[in-house]
Amino acid sequence: MDELDPLSRVPERIKHTAARVEDWVHEVREARALRAGRLPAIVAYPGYGGDGWVRVLARVLLVQPGAERSVHYENVRGWRSFTSLALNDIEVTIEAGGEQHVVVADRGGIVDAIVPARLEPGWREVTISVAGSVEVAAPVFVVDPATRFGVVSDIDDTVMVTSLPRPLLAAWNAFVLDEHARTPVPGMAVLYERIARQHPGSPFIYLSTGAWNAAPTLSRFLSRNLYPAGAMLLTDWGPTPDRFFRSGKEHKRLQLQRLAREFPDIAWLLVGDDGQHDEELYGEFASAHPRSVRAVAIRELSAQEAVLAGGRKHADTRSMHPWVWSPNGGGLARELGAIPELEVL
pTM: 0.84
Tally of CB atoms within 10 A around 297: 28
Q: Which of 44, 41, 76 is nearest to 60 (CA)?
A: 41
For residue range 2-56, list pLDDT tens digits in order.
444 444 444 445 555 655 665 656 566 666 766 776 788 899 999 999 999 999 9
Is the separation of the CB atoms in 81 and 19 below 8 Å? Answer: no
Least confident interval from 50-59, 189-198, 221-230, 233-242: 233-242
- 139, 125 contact by CB (below 8 A): yes
Which superfamily does 38-142 belong to? Immunoglobulins (2.60.40.10)
pLDDT above 50 (res 79):
no
Is the model more confident about 189 or about 162?
189
What is the 3-class SS of the chain, one letter each residue? CCCCCHHHCCCCCCCCHHHHHHHHHHHHHHHHHHHCCCEEEEEEEEEEEECCEEEEEEEEEEECCCHHHCHHHHHCCHHHHHCCEECCCCEEEEEECCEEEEEECCCCCEEEEEEECCCCCEEEEEEEECCCCCCEEEEEEECCCCCCEEEEECCECCCEECCCCCHHHHHHHHHCCCHHHCEECCCHHHHHHHHHHHCCCCCEEEEEEEEHHHHHHHHHHHHHCCCCCCEEEEECCCCECCECCCCHHHHHHHHHHHHHHHCCCCEEEEEEECCCCHHHHHHHHHHHCHHHEEEEEEECCCHHHHHHCCCCCCCCCCCCCCEEEECCHHHHHHHHHCCHHHCCC
Q: Name the CATH topology of 149-342.
A: Rossmann fold (3.40.50)
For 263-299, the pLDDT digits (tens) are: 999 999 999 998 878 999 999 999 999 999 999 999 9
User: With 90 as the cut, is the pLDDT of residue 203 above it?
Assistant: yes
Give the best-scoring range by mean pLDDT among 9-18, 207-216, 266-275, 310-319: 266-275
Q: Please tell me the predicted confidence (pLDDT) of residue 72.
A: 41
What's the distance, CA 77 to chain centroid? Answer: 18
Could you state, in order of their start, the residue ranges of all structural domains in the chain? 38-142, 149-342
